[in-house]
Structure 1
């Protein structure tokens, strides 16, 4: 297991995603780990051209505006990193983590956050094992997406098992560790939200109020 032996001065949690649109599940995942980690910064990175997803419906500008609204009440300092939107080529998380590590240097704990749905196919991500060379990875459960060995690929389970660490260890080292949180029960799908909006519904319980207002004002996700 590789972890940084240098003293860590800051802790930055990263939440990436298509955010098409951002919804209460994204906010709940961020809040959950903010409470556990007490990071100095929560960095939100909207995807640009994610290679495993096609046809983002909202523009990068609109998704950034929705993310800014969704996280406007965070107590932790929030930054929105647009590097993936500005990237011309396909978006790979490994490239983003390399860029963030180069920017922040070796003395910062970088924690990449994900849900169980992403964990279940993490082994299909570009150079996924090398993500640990630049950051820790923390994953949280989601209803319908089990985190046990029967649902998570064996190589992912093995990697998370050998790198398993406490929140204190993750916050005090720069990269290379993993944490599985089994008790976050929020089940919201952006696909479900887009479908509801196309039917003329208002998914008030699924989307932050400011985001729903933005969607309506800019006539997003209409058929």
Structure 2
């Protein structure tokens, strides 16, 4: 059954880095979605003091994702909100806009599974989208870092890429062995020290950071 599929990658992107690009590329290759939607957070309740402005983060995202195999849309709805932003509310709004048939796939790094149970309404995420995570080598769902209720939800809802591509929501998938381990915090620290983390940040993004003197002491 043919079904429109939209992969969604959310994050603070302060700055966007090569790990974000690799994660998105991995799932674009795996799921063959019709669209990749990038969702920069506006006022994420678990993070404080974003350094780059919303407009600057959008500009960096445009440069990072300018060459993709699928159409890319940078969805700025959370940037336009003055209230704390919650993923569950955004997914609920997207489902209402796009209808019940489209396959919505929310992408995350496996490190986010370690505190998924702290997200507002995390169990409801599956009512509106599939949830796919990419793990570095050696990561295991049954490891001590993943809360039992998150592990159980992920295992109970496990699906194949084909099932995720052809159903609207409710499945999970853990993609193993994505050997990318990059921290935006470490990148900002390196930039403050005058270092050039050119292996961690797409070149076009690093050029933008330098031109606009971002992440300086």
Greater displacement, 134-143 / 85-94 = 134-143
Note if contact 2:130-2:172 (Cα within 8 Å) is conserved in structure 1: yes
Question: Which sections of structure 2, spanning at least 5 residues, go unmatched?
Answer: none
Structure 2 counterpart of 1:113: 107
Are 1:198 and 2:192 counterparts? yes
Distance 1:107 1:9 in 2: 7
Q: In structure 2, what is the equivalent of residue 207 of structure 1?
A: 201
Deviates more, 1:204-213 or 1:135-144: 135-144
1:1-223 correspondence runs (5 A): 9-142=3-136, 147-223=141-217
Give unmatched runs, 5+ long, in structure 1.
1-6
The Cα RMSD (Å) is 1.3
Deviation at 1:149, TM superposition (A): 3.5
SS at match of 1:86: coil
- Post-superposition Cα deviations, 1:147-184, rounded to whole Å, max 9, x if no partner, equal 43322100001101110000000110000110111211
Could you tell me how far apart the structure 2 residues matched to 1:152 and 1:206 are?
26
How many residue pairs are counted as aligned between the two chains?
Answer: 217
Q: Deviations over 1:27-54 (max 9, x none)?
A: 0000000010000000000000000011
